[in-house]
A and B are shown apart, each in its own frame.
Chain A
């Protein structure tokens, strides 16, 4: 065992691959938050009056709220005055007209991240919107998408170009007053992605956003809004990274999905924010509100997430199954290593008739990681013939981590069928021995077994993301073997 232990020590030292800092000039607001901050952000973005009013109302409401404390998270008090609420690469003033004009350092950053931002990334067939600190820096494949009527742009651009859509749908899924962090986001959100799929259109390519926090002492508050009109389909991918910094950085995003009649939105996330070092210093505090409204009959939303990063994750991508015959799915892999903490899960709110939901989660805890699944399945009085199936599995690697499961099941309709199962286990010694006996190294065996454990979720990811997710999991697990 001692030999293994020393190997482990080496591996624990494995570094966060995405922890570089890009040395480019940024402009922004000094740390601090009051009404003038909100006005300044709105002014920077030359927003219409209604949006400023909306932000200010959110800010006023936020002042009355206190941070939630019900999650199983050990959070240092957050000083909201120490955060800078706006940072943008300085070139933003005279924005590049094409990708060729984008600061090469920035492009280099995305290349390091493996983001296929440049035109040659065409091979990947992914249209990318990249959000760097607070602003969106470029969207690829705009023309191709415009041909079929798909709007895919930064949130700021959408405010200028499609104000009627933004105004109609913004805050209609996650109201301003929904929770502390969503409310804060509503006041100070800087940018994000906007996506509109017209009636009957099947989006011809995967849409993707990469988020990166670069500047120090900066919070990122992006906002994503996706609207799928009747009969449309879209697959949307989201990736996140941040540099290694000793202080905890704040990320509080809001994602709203509106799925209209018979539409289908597939939303995949690979979250790899900086998790802090092996002693739990630094890392991103990730407080995200993600919610989908299956507003009309036959709509379907599928969330898939692979959460390997962040010092702290507070995130419950949810589905409001309002229309009849709507479907919600949630597939999740959450890994916590070192001193990472995750409290994540989903809410499936069954309101319409014949609604279906499925929850598959895989939690992996290693090191001193604390991993919590928190989920709600609610079947309302009128939700005739609702069906839910949940399977929540946890795997523990080592003696100092924790795995927790808090499934809330509330059923008010006597035709509902709800089934929840959960298991907690460690990597089977017999499985491990079997692999070792066949000549497979312990590291490989563990990653093989963990990969098998997560297979059901990886299967849901688009191909190129599945490969990335698997690789991420391996990196994040390095040194976790006990």
Chain B
């Protein structure tokens, strides 16, 4: 298929289903109908207020073809060793020859798994909101993704890496399912990386469905270091059962146009969610981070801490919504959005929302927009550190709070290392 503008994919015919799965066929048809009825999120949609799709819709994109990727090159790109467990997807398609998976758990590619069992429960119901266009686009066209199912009490000691590599001007629809049984535990480090070079870039339209069972725990890092022309529309839906814990830290340091929707439903008592992020936008980068944490039952805790640095012509958007449903007493929620605005052409838009419908609640949020501390810069200079290095040190320091909150030592070091690398390579005056 020749390259089409993204807008044209909305009405493009669906590929004939290769497997005779009627539920999947129905799902795709229904998703396509919604997509054609409502399209991609329109201008004026409140949730897309600060993220115009104009540049996306025009972008010519082709569908995935085979790409040969050198294993060594890939490993160095994500700073992994040869024996680290990993699931590798190139332009959304699973690459068995580049992957290494533990044998004692259910972990496979979604395409394979669809042939083994009926997974329809993970896909329904489809989102109904009129601005769910990218979800429908994904549901109607996804081919592959990560599938992990942990049985009760299964504890995976070693970290598993999910690598999503984008090569060229390709539109991909990664679809990932992680289902953690009661008292199980998983560490997942996710990497969005790119080998498109400076001239090309893809659009990754990913969807992730995560179930964290009773008293299960997931530690998760997500490093987005896509190339300077690539775009990402990423939606995550998490459901936490009683006593479940999910710790997730984002590092968004790459890409041209990025949108995250991170949705969490706290469905069982004493659930705990922490979602943090460091977002760096420079050049003409645009990153829009939406989180929605829904306290549906009593005594759950949510924590959010986002740090954004906007320089150049970058634009950093944050919209964090905390919902406390009627009866969800004992909810404890704290949310923080701290931003550094460093250039006259950069922009920060932040909106920490609270919707509280129960009274026995602790909910607080804060947002700040400011600059590097001039006194601290002066202090550094009096010790002999020049302005560019001083500024980098202070930017790096601004992010440290998020890094310090990462519980797993290995993941913490990996994120810190990535940040150090970004700031070391950063050109600044």
| Whether chain A touches chain B in the assembled complex (some CB pair under 8 Å) | yes
Report Cα–Cα, A423/B355, bound state, in Å: 12
Q: B341 is contacted by which of A414, A424, A425 (Cβ under 8 Å)?
A: A414
Report Cα–Cα, A408/B350, bound state, in Å: 6
Check B348 for interface membership: any CB of A closer than 8 A.
yes
**Which A residues between 381 and 431 are near B, CB-CB below 8 angstroms?**
381, 394, 396-426
Closest to B370 in A: A417
Report Cα–Cα, A401/B360, bound state, in Å: 11
Check B112 for interface membership: any CB of A closer than 8 A.
no
The answer on a CB contact under 8 Å between B361 and A426 is yes
The answer on a CB contact under 8 Å between A417 and B371 is yes
Q: A334 to nearest B CB, angstroms?
A: 15
Number of interface residues, chain B, beta carbon within 8 A: 35
Contact partners of B356 in chain A: CB under 8 A: 394, 396, 402-404, 424
Contact partners of A418 in chain B: CB under 8 A: 367-370
Report Cα–Cα, A360/B329, bound state, in Å: 27
Contact partners of A411 in chain B: CB under 8 A: 339, 341, 347-349, 369
Check A70 for interface membership: any CB of B closer than 8 A.
yes
The answer on a CB contact under 8 Å between A422 and B365 is yes
Q: B349 to nearest A CB, angstroms?
A: 5
Contact partners of A399 in chain B: CB under 8 A: 326-327, 329, 358-359
Check B102 for interface membership: any CB of A closer than 8 A.
no
Bitwise, B335-374 to A at CB < 8 A (1) or not (0) is 0000101111011111111111111111111111111000
**Which A residues between 41 and 88 are near B, CB-CB below 8 angstroms?**
70, 72
Q: Given A410-B347, A420-B352, A423-B363, does the pair A402, B357 have CB atoms closer than 8 Å?
A: yes
Report Cα–Cα, A405/B359, bound state, in Å: 15
The answer on a CB contact under 8 Å between A407 and B346 is no
Report Cα–Cα, A419/B350, bound state, in Å: 11
The answer on a CB contact under 8 Å between A406 and B351 is yes
Contact partners of B363 in chain A: CB under 8 A: 423-425
Q: B344 is contacted by which of A406, A409, A413, A417 (Cβ under 8 Å)?
A: A413
Closest to A366 in B: B359
The answer on a CB contact under 8 Å between B371 and A404 is no
The answer on a CB contact under 8 Å between A420 and B368 is yes
**Which B residues between 163 and 187 are near A, CB-CB below 8 angstroms?**
none
Q: Given A399-B326, A414-B342, does the pair A421, B366 have CB atoms closer than 8 Å?
A: yes
The answer on a CB contact under 8 Å between B359 and A420 is no
Check B46 for interface membership: any CB of A closer than 8 A.
yes
Closest to A393 in B: B364
Q: Given A403-B356, A418-B367, does the pair A425, B361 have CB atoms closer than 8 Å?
A: yes
The answer on a CB contact under 8 Å between A407 and B359 is no
Number of interface residues, chain A, beta carbon within 8 A: 37
Contact partners of A397 in chain B: CB under 8 A: 359
Closest to A400 in B: B326
Q: A416 is contacted by which of B351, B360, B366, B369 (Cβ under 8 Å)?
A: B369
The answer on a CB contact under 8 Å between A412 and B46 is no
Contact partners of A398 in chain B: CB under 8 A: 359
Q: Given A404-B354, A414-B343, does the pair A423, B364 have CB atoms closer than 8 Å?
A: yes
Q: B104 to nearest A CB, angstroms?
A: 45
Closest to B338 in A: A419
Report Cα–Cα, A482/B363, bound state, in Å: 20
The answer on a CB contact under 8 Å between B353 and A410 is no
Contact partners of B367 in chain A: CB under 8 A: 407, 409, 418-420
Q: B364 is contacted by which of A72, A407, A417, A424 (Cβ under 8 Å)?
A: A424
Contact partners of A401 in chain B: CB under 8 A: 357, 359
Contact partners of B341 in chain A: CB under 8 A: 411, 413-414, 416
Contact partners of A407 in chain B: CB under 8 A: 351-353, 367
Report Cα–Cα, A166/B47, bound state, in Å: 40
Q: B349 is contacted by which of A405, A410, A421 (Cβ under 8 Å)?
A: A410
Report Cα–Cα, A397/B353, bound state, in Å: 20
Contact partners of B364 in chain A: CB under 8 A: 421-424
Closest to B341 in A: A414
Contact partners of B344 in chain A: CB under 8 A: 381, 413-414
Report Cα–Cα, A407/B353, bound state, in Å: 7
Q: A336 to nearest B CB, angstroms?
A: 13
Closest to A482 in B: B359
Q: B361 is contacted by which of A417, A420, A424, A482 (Cβ under 8 Å)?
A: A424
Report Cα–Cα, A407/B337, bound state, in Å: 12
Closest to B363 in A: A424
- Interface hub of A409, A412, A416, A421 (most chain B Cβ within 10 A): A409
Q: A387 to nearest B CB, angstroms?
A: 10
Contact partners of B360 in chain A: CB under 8 A: 426
The answer on a CB contact under 8 Å between B353 and A406 is yes
Report Cα–Cα, A185/B167, bound state, in Å: 57
Q: A409 is contacted by which of B46, B343, B351 (Cβ under 8 Å)?
A: B351
The answer on a CB contact under 8 Å between A424 and B366 is no
- Interface hub of A398, A400, A482 (most chain B Cβ within 10 A): A400
Bitwise, A454-470 to B at CB < 8 A (1) or not (0) is 00000000000000000
Closest to A416 in B: B369
The answer on a CB contact under 8 Å between B370 and A405 is no
Contact partners of B348 in chain A: CB under 8 A: 409-411
Closest to B348 in A: A411
**Which B residues between 277 and 332 are near A, CB-CB below 8 angstroms?**
326-327, 329
Q: A179 to nearest B CB, angstroms?
A: 15
Report Cα–Cα, A415/B346, bound state, in Å: 11
Report Cα–Cα, A415/B341, bound state, in Å: 8
Closest to A405 in B: B354
Closest to B324 in A: A424
Q: A136 to nearest B CB, angstroms?
A: 40
The answer on a CB contact under 8 Å between B343 and A424 is no
Q: A123 to nearest B CB, angstroms?
A: 43
Report Cα–Cα, A399/B356, bound state, in Å: 10
Report Cα–Cα, A412/B347, bound state, in Å: 5
Bitwise, A199-210 to B at CB < 8 A (1) or not (0) is 000000000000
Contact partners of B371 in chain A: CB under 8 A: 414-415, 417
Report Cα–Cα, A482/B361, bound state, in Å: 15
Q: B346 is contacted by which of A72, A404, A414, A422 (Cβ under 8 Å)?
A: A414
Report Cα–Cα, A412/B369, bound state, in Å: 10
Report Cα–Cα, A404/B46, bound state, in Å: 16
Bitwise, B372-390 to A at CB < 8 A (1) or not (0) is 0000000000000000000
Report Cα–Cα, A409/B353, bound state, in Å: 11
Closest to B354 in A: A405
Q: Given A70-B46, A426-B361, does the pair A419, B354 have CB atoms closer than 8 Å?
A: no
Contact partners of B369 in chain A: CB under 8 A: 379, 409, 411, 416-419
Contact partners of B368 in chain A: CB under 8 A: 417-420
Report Cα–Cα, A394/B361, bound state, in Å: 11
Report Cα–Cα, A404/B324, bound state, in Å: 10
Report Cα–Cα, A410/B315, bound state, in Å: 10
Contact partners of A70 in chain B: CB under 8 A: 46
Closest to B353 in A: A406
The answer on a CB contact under 8 Å between B351 and A402 is no
Contact partners of B370 in chain A: CB under 8 A: 416-419
Closest to B340 in A: A414
Q: B330 to nearest A CB, angstroms?
A: 11
Contact partners of A402 in chain B: CB under 8 A: 355-357
Contact partners of B326 in chain A: CB under 8 A: 399-400
25 pairs, CB–CB < 8 Å, chain A vs chain B: A379-B369, A394-B356, A399-B358, A404-B354, A404-B355, A405-B365, A407-B367, A409-B349, A411-B341, A411-B347, A411-B369, A414-B343, A414-B371, A416-B341, A418-B367, A418-B369, A419-B366, A421-B365, A422-B365, A424-B361, A424-B362, A424-B364, A425-B362, A426-B359, A426-B361
Besides A414-B343, A416-B341, 14 other A-B contacts (C-beta < 8 A): A394-B354, A397-B359, A399-B358, A400-B326, A403-B354, A406-B351, A409-B348, A409-B350, A410-B347, A412-B347, A418-B369, A420-B366, A421-B365, A424-B361
Question: Closest 5 CB pairs between A and B?
Answer: A396-B359, A424-B363, A418-B369, A405-B354, A420-B367
